[in-house]
């Protein structure tokens, strides 16, 4: 069982690396356009806090080196993402993002580590950090719900990166399985939730991606030779104007 859990943990680390790196295309677009457009910063802010707590949890709990190493990598990657948001976000949002980063990734993290180190010892400290990490893990998996709301409102999947949702789904499932093997229920509960929420994101993506494809097809007419022609849409007011003026 220990050998199986080790290999599942390795697979989980690989998937987590892919999950952390999946938004690279999004940030390449942000840098190229010098704007964050309608992309949400909250998923990356929450993931940074989550990675920080689980790194600490992996350090203080014996036998959780795999948890500490992958989340340490996550800290580095998510710090880059959050920094890019602070650089390229519109001015009206930059201050808001900085405030949320200060409250969550600095204030809450420092308070959690300080309180648990001063007030708790041994297993009590590990459990307290694990419970807080589990809550934050659920927040991390739930944070793309804001992007889902944008998808439903705009009926477009442009601002919900597919690979981020895809790897959140597999990351949650793999770490939930790992948690079952090592009997770590503080890992099981949040990652089980992540598996379910990741599946929901993929369903929403599939629904609105098909809607976009149908819309794109309806906006063009293809003749028998394969040439595309844009559909001509004339409003009634424009038509009546042409008739009155004899055009």
Beta bridge partners of 222: 228
Q: Is the pLDDT of residue 14 over 50?
A: yes
CB-count exposure of residue 134 (10 Å: 0-12, 13-18, 19+): buried
Report how far residue 220's alpha carbon sits from residue 209's, in angstroms, rounded to the nearest whole number. 17
At residue 201, the pLDDT reads: 83
Q: What distance in Å separates the CA atoms of residue 70 and residue 187, rounded to the nearest whole number?
A: 14
Q: What pTM does this model have? A: 0.70
pLDDT tier at 1 (50, 70, 90 boundaries)? low
In which band, very low, low, confident or very high, does the pLDDT at 107 lie, cut at 50, 70 and 90? very high
Count the neighbouring beta carbons within 10 Å of the beta carbon of residue 121. 10
Q: What is the pLDDT of residues 179-197, one digit of tens each?
A: 888 888 888 888 888 888 8
Q: How many of the other CB atoms lie within 10 Å of CB of 7?
A: 12
Q: Please give the pLDDT value at position 215.
A: 54
Cα(first)–Cα(last) distance of the chain, in Å?
82
Span 103-123, mean pLDDT? 89
78 pLDDT higher than 50: yes
- Output the pLDDT for position 159: 67
Predicted confidence (pLDDT) at residue 246 exceeds the cutoff of 60 = no
Q: Which long-range contacts (CB under 8 A, 24 or more apart) does 70-75 make?
A: 70/12, 70/13, 70/16, 70/17, 73/16, 73/17, 73/20, 74/16, 74/20, 74/47, 74/48, 74/50, 75/48, 75/51
Task: Tell me what pLDDT residue 235 has.
Answer: 38
Alpha-carbon distance of 221 to 227, in angstroms, equals 8
Backbone Cα Rg of the chain: 23
The pLDDT assigned to 221 comes to 43
The closest alpha carbon to 169, from 138, 202, 143, belongs to 202
Residue 38 pLDDT more than 70?
A: yes
- State how far the Cα of 72 lies from the Cα of 54, in Å rounded to an integer: 9
- In this prediction, residue 100 carries a pLDDT of 93
38-47, 78-87, 149-158, 169-178: range with lowest mean pLDDT? 149-158
The residues facing 230 across adjacent strands are 220
pLDDT, tens digit, 9 for 90 and up, residues 201-240: 888 888 887 655 555 544 444 444 444 443 333 333 333 3
- pLDDT at position 142 is 76
Q: What is the DSSP letter of 228?
A: E
């Amino acid at each position: 069982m220990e050998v199986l859990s080790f290999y599942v943990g390795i697979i989980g680390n690989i998937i987590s690396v892919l999950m952390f790196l999946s938004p690279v295309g999004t940030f390449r677009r942000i840098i190229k356009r010098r704007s964050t457009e309608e992309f949400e910063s909250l998923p990356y802010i929450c993931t940074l806090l989550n990675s920080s707590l689980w790194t600490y949890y992996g350090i203080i709990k014996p036998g959780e080196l795999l948890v500490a190493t992958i989340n340490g990598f996550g800290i580095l990657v998510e710090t880059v993402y959050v920094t890019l948001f602070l650089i390229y976000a519109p001015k009206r949002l930059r201050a808001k993002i900085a405030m949320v980063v200060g409250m969550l990734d600095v204030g809450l993290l420092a308070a959690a580590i300080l309180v648990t180190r001063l007030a708790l010892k041994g297993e009590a400290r590990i459990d307290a950090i694990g419970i807080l990490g589990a809550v934050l893990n659920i927040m991390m998996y739930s944070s793309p719900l804001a992007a889902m709301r944008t998808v439903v409102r705009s009926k477009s999947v442009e601002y919900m990166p597919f690979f981020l949702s895809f790897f959140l789904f597999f990351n949650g499932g793999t770490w939930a399985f790992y948690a079952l093997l090592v009997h770590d229920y503080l890992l099981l509960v949040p990652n089980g939730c992540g598996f379910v929420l990741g599946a929901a994101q993929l369903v929403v993506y599939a629904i609105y991606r098909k809607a976009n494809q149908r819309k794109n097809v309806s906006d063009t007419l293809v003749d028998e030779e394969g040439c595309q022609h844009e559909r001509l849409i004339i409003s009634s007011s424009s038509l009546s104007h042409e008739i009155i003026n004899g055009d």
